[in-house]
Structure 1
Amino acid sequence: MVGMLTATASAEESRWAIALHGGAGFASPDMAPEKVEQFRVALEKALAAGEKVLQSGGTAVDAVQQTVMVLEDAPYFNAGRGAVFNAEAFHQLDASIMDGGNLDGGGVSAVKHVRNPIRAARLVMEKTPHVLLTADDADQFAKTNGLEMVEQGYFYDASSWAEFQQWSEKKNGVAPKAPSYPLNESAAVAEPTDTNFTCGTVGCVALDKHGNLAAATSTGGMTGKLPGRVGDSPILSAGTYADNAGCAVSGTGVGEQYIRHAIAFQTNWRVKENQQPVADAVQDCLDKVLNPGDGGIIAIDHDGNMALQYNSGSMSRGWSDWRGNRGVAIWKEPLEK
């Protein structure tokens, strides 16, 4: 049982809980201390954003959106700013959000210009009868509805670019000198901060004081993906799911595997129909359904029980609840300030 953190809730009033992830992967234990600190601060900032919403009596949907937006804005994760490059050296982003109170949800895939794809996903949920919009039409929908739009260069990160160059050299025998879009001068001379960390998809699950669950996930996909490839993150039941009668789930890892096995829905089904504790449901999906190294899952049930588990080398993550349980981690043990 790798990287498990669980908490058992009682029937206290005004309970709330939140868990987030910044992606499963294989972070080297030899990562530079200053890089570890950067990740710790970013995780703490995102966690605090969600805590603030929940502690003040806000909704789980607002909490997961605010948390994911902080992670999208940080350059250390594969979502929003810092997203990985596809095979043609540009970025296409995916995101989804789901409300466990009514099973409403929305997602966007392959967007190129929305600064915060999770905001666009929520607009799909609340402003349309649909569940998923894609590519240029999703970008236009976001723009029409007043979301902040950016050029591709906004998403550039030197570490993600170095990872793409390594991928390209291994696959094609040559590393491109520049992305397929123009860079400003400061980005063009930026050096990668660390190549020992595989950044990942971001996600959040929450329980609010009203007893409602929500989940959200956002990603840049996988380095070297074919243009137009869509992973699990924008797909309800695959990478994201929330149901007040079961649990809220966000996944991170090999997207095709999460789609094939409907991992987010299957986790919820195990809790809701099979009456499994949330930690057991998550662990069974990791051990019995997915392959070793496929990734991780975070989940919260309607009682505030949390599970943050993975079968890869690491998973950046954070958790907090009304009882004072709180922490952030990359490897097994919580990070210390």
Structure 2
Amino acid sequence: MKRTVPTCLSLCIKAIGFLAVFLACGTLSAEKPRWAIALHAGAGSVSKDISAERLQEYKTSIRKALETGEAVLRSGGTALDAVERTVMVLEDAAGFNAGKGAVFNAEGFHQLDASIMDGNDLSCGAVAAVETIRNPIQAARLVMERTPHVLLVSKGAERLAKLHNIEIVTPDYFYDATRWQQLQKKLKATGRKELDNPCYPVPPEANQTGDRTDQEISRGTVGCVALDMHGNLAAGTSTGGLTGKMVGRVGDSPIIGAGTYADNRGCAISATGSGEEYIRHGIAAQVNWRMRFANQSLSEATQACINDVLKPGDGGVIAVDHDGNLSLEFNTTSMSRAWADSKGNSGIAIWEERFAD
């Protein structure tokens, strides 16, 4: 009597054989997890006459911020951590209008805003008009993770930060002579009386001269977007606002959907520029909406918002989608920015052309 191999066993043997052939031919390979990151440090009109020393300092800070976020993503860390830590580096660098380099308001002190968003579940947090928090992006994450709210302002946000041991500083920590000169220039240009001194004693060791070659070094915010190896997106934004702004003015940076948005089904976005315009048009959420519901690619969505919705000179956005595509668009003469991804693409730029590596 002829014996036959059971059908299921026969199929298994054949499958193993095919697999061996495919492996031998090298046709089966696991795709490496993707990651991507981009940051901005303000859109505006940076003069190419900026001093070489100041420019190098600026580039060094941007590179440090980029490498900080890269390190998180390369090691398998979360997009949320990469965004927070990248923004913190920019907040700690005096050359940017966020954290330590924040501009002065009309009465001679600083009020800072920040927000952060997790694309995995749309959780988000923000703070506005804070005056003593060294890193507002940390406080924004606190609001997201430790409260049922999205936005806390002023003293309420500062109390939360103190409760959770976020570093608190005195107002003079934010003093910068260049920023002070910018305020006087702004007050004079708008017919307002110039101020003799800030609202706080200037630190005796502070530089009193500033650098007149970078008066327009940054128009608004710093921000970061990231995709991690787990497929999650995140975005964060931090700012000192507008030079000479009214006390209590809040722009788009802490407004979810205006200056910051992240959604794993679409993209993560951080904006910089004329905050009121970004609020009016819901730019950050609109970019995501265009991708999800108007079937636009990331680049089509960002270009449409920057070139068709906003006016020339309004600013720019950085964005990353769930596939790791990056888009950095602006309609000003400059936008300080940097980017990197798991495919080896990377760069730093202020004007149209990128800097040589």
State whether TM-score is above 0.5: yes
Q: In the alignment, what sits opposite 2:221?
A: 201
Conserved? CA contact 2:182–2:215, under 8 Å = no
- Alignment partner of 1:192 is 2:211: yes
Conserved? CA contact 1:31–1:197, under 8 Å = no
TM-score (norm 1): 0.95
- Alignment partner of 1:122 is 2:141: yes
Q: In the alignment, what sits opposite 1:226?
A: 246
Q: In the alignment, what sits opposite 2:15?
A: none
**Which of 290, 294, 302 is residue 310 of structure 2 equivalent to?**
290
- Alignment partner of 1:300 is 2:314: no
- Alignment partner of 1:139 is 2:158: yes
User: 1:37-56 CA distances to partner (integer Å, 9 max, x unpaired)?
Assistant: 11111110000000000000
SS of the residue corresponding to residue 261 of structure 2 reads strand
**For residues 87 and 188 of structure 1, do their structure 2 counterparts lie closer, same or farther at Cα, with a shift above 3 Å needed?**
same
Mapped to 2, the partners of 1:241 and 1:222 lie a distance apart of 21
SS of the residue corresponding to residue 172 of structure 1 reads coil
Mapped to 2, the partners of 1:197 and 1:49 lie a distance apart of 26
Give the AA of the match of 1:290: L
Mapped to 2, the partners of 1:189 and 1:196 lie a distance apart of 15
**Which of 61, 64, 82 is residue 63 of structure 1 equivalent to?**
82
Conserved? CA contact 1:35–1:193, under 8 Å = no
Q: In the alignment, what sits opposite 1:112?
A: 131
For residues 116-265 of structure 1, the aligned pairs below 5 Å read 116-172=135-191, 174-187=193-206, 189-192=208-211, 194-199=213-218, 200-265=220-285
Mapped to 2, the partners of 1:74 and 1:278 lie a distance apart of 30
SS of the residue corresponding to residue 218 of structure 1 reads strand
TM-score (norm 2): 0.89
Mapped to 2, the partners of 1:190 and 1:184 lie a distance apart of 13
**For residues 246 and 137 of structure 1, do their structure 2 counterparts lie closer, same or farther at Cα, with a shift above 3 Å needed?**
same
Bigger mean CA deviation after superposition, 187-196 or 267-276: 187-196
Conserved? CA contact 2:43–2:336, under 8 Å = yes
Q: CA deviation at 1:121?
A: 0.1
Q: CA deviation at 1:196?
A: 4.2
Structure number with higher helix proportion = 2
Bigger mean CA deviation after superposition, 229-238 or 27-36: 27-36
Conserved? CA contact 2:176–2:210, under 8 Å = no
Give the AA of the match of 1:38: E
Conserved? CA contact 1:213–1:244, under 8 Å = yes
Mapped to 1, the partners of 2:189 and 2:255 lie a distance apart of 30
Q: CA deviation at 1:189?
A: 2.9
Bigger mean CA deviation after superposition, 12-21 or 104-113: 12-21
Mapped to 2, the partners of 1:172 and 1:180 lie a distance apart of 20
Give the AA of the match of 2:74: Q
**Which of 13, 22, 44 is residue 25 of structure 1 equivalent to?**
44
Conserved? CA contact 1:109–1:133, under 8 Å = yes
**Which of 101, 106, 109 is residue 90 of structure 1 equivalent to?**
109
User: What percentage of residue pairs aligned between the two structures are identical?
Assistant: 57
Q: CA deviation at 1:329?
A: 0.5
Mapped to 1, the partners of 2:211 and 2:48 lie a distance apart of 18
- Alignment partner of 1:74 is 2:113: no
SS of the residue corresponding to residue 34 of structure 2 reads coil
Q: CA deviation at 1:194?
A: 3.1
Mapped to 1, the partners of 2:336 and 2:294 lie a distance apart of 29
User: 1:217-264 CA distances to partner (integer Å, 9 max, x unpaired)?
Assistant: 000000111111110000100000000000000000000000000000
More RCO (CA 8 Å, sep 6+):
1
Q: CA deviation at 1:173?
A: 5.3
Q: CA deviation at 1:190?
A: 4.4
SS of the residue corresponding to residue 133 of structure 1 reads strand
**Which of 280, 298, 302 is residue 278 of structure 1 equivalent to?**
298
User: 1:161-182 CA distances to partner (integer Å, 9 max, x unpaired)?
Assistant: 1100111122235432211111
Q: In the alignment, what sits opposite 1:315?
A: 335
User: 1:18-49 CA distances to partner (integer Å, 9 max, x unpaired)?
Assistant: 00000100011222222221111111000000
Mapped to 1, the partners of 2:209 and 2:96 lie a distance apart of 17
SS of the residue corresponding to residue 185 of structure 1 reads coil
Conserved? CA contact 2:129–2:248, under 8 Å = yes
Give the AA of the match of 1:287: N
Bigger mean CA deviation after superposition, 189-198 or 321-330: 189-198
Give the AA of the match of 2:279: I
Mapped to 2, the partners of 1:101 and 1:45 lie a distance apart of 27
Mapped to 1, the partners of 2:169 and 2:123 lie a distance apart of 28
Query: Structure 2 regions of 5+ residues with no counterpart?
Result: 1-29
- Alignment partner of 1:266 is 2:286: yes
Conserved? CA contact 1:282–1:307, under 8 Å = yes
Q: CA deviation at 1:127?
A: 0.2
**For residues 188 and 37 of structure 1, do their structure 2 counterparts lie closer, same or farther at Cα, with a shift above 3 Å needed?**
closer
